[in-house]
């Protein structure tokens, strides 16, 4: 009886083992990857500009320098607004006050105050006239213009789509050459942004012409495709 029971138990264990082996899922087919870099771009013409205007004044005392500077900057801001630039598009960038020393550096001989504002010009055609007006009003520092697009993010998304398509075309070529079949995208990493091309800017005594030139909005992506 004991021998019979042992044989029965052994048969049950073997049966369970065989059933587990038969019901096991088949091993997954190994997959491989192709990693490519794709690029896309959209060429556009700038439609807005940002320009900084600064005023620097000297005086014997700190308070006098700061007051004189404030008076001159108020004239510059008024002149910019008179060109149709909204107050919301004019922003103070910096205000500074520093002492001026004698040649040997041991005595304060006066003070220098500086103030700068940044103006966003939503009509590119006004850029030259605004610069002229600010300088005529007393601005003795001008930086810019920095030209751009009001819809830069939408253009960048277009460039991203073109970059993905470029990456897919590259991966398809590589897969066919290697005798593989391209499957789905498993990973994407992006980098890039609006990159301005050289902009022509001319100056003259009577006015300040601004040539908008073009901008190239670029996007670059690194894409991983699975292949079999």
Mind listing the pLDDT tens digit for each residue in 110-140? 999 999 999 999 998 889 999 999 999 999 9
d(C-alpha 201, C-alpha 54), whole Å: 20
Model confidence, pTM: 0.65
**Bigger pLDDT: 212 vs 8:** 212
Nearest CA among 177, 166, 164, 168 for reference residue 226? 168
Nearest CA among 119, 124, 116 for reference residue 82? 119
* pLDDT score for 202: 42
* pLDDT score for 194: 56
d(C-alpha 79, C-alpha 131), whole Å: 10
Mind listing the pLDDT tens digit for each residue in 13-48? 333 333 344 444 444 444 689 999 999 999 988 888
pLDDT band for 2, please (50, 70, 90 cuts).
very low
39, 220 contact by CB (below 8 A): yes
Structure tokens at 186: 């498993």
pLDDT for residue 210 is more than 80: no
**Pairing state of beta strands 90-101 and 108-121?**
antiparallel
* pLDDT score for 144: 84
**Pairing state of beta strands 215-227 and 108-121?**
unpaired
Mind listing the pLDDT tens digit for each residue in 158-199? 999 999 999 999 999 999 999 999 999 999 998 865 554 444
């Amino acid at each position: 009886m004991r021998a019979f029971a042992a044989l029965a138990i052994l048969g049950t264990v073997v049966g369970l083992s065989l059933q587990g082996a038969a019901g096991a899922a088949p091993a997954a087919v190994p997959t491989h990857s192709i990693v490519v870099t794709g690029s896309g771009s959209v060429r556009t013409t700038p439609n807005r500009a940002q320009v900084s205007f600064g005023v620097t004044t000297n005086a014997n005392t700190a308070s006098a320098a700061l007051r004189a500077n404030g008076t001159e900057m108020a004239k510059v801001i008024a002149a910019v607004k008179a060109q149709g630039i909204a107050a919301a598009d004019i922003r103070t960038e910096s205000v500074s006050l520093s002492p001026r020393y004698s040649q040997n550096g041991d005595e304060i001989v006066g003070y220098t105050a500086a103030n700068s504002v940044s103006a966003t010009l939503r009509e590119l055609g006004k850029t030259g006239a605004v610069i002229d007006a600010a300088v005529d009003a007393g601005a003795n520092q001008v930086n810019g213009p920095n030209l751009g697009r009001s819809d830069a993010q939408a253009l960048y998304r277009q460039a991203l789509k073109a970059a993905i398509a470029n990456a897919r075309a590259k991966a398809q070529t590589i897969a066919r050459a290697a005798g593989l079949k391209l499957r789905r995208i498993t990973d994407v990493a992006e980098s890039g942004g609006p990159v301005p091309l050289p902009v022509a800017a001319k100056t003259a005594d009577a006015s300040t012409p601004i040539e908008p030139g073009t901008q190239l909005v670029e996007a670059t992506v690194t894409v991983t495709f699975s292949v079999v």
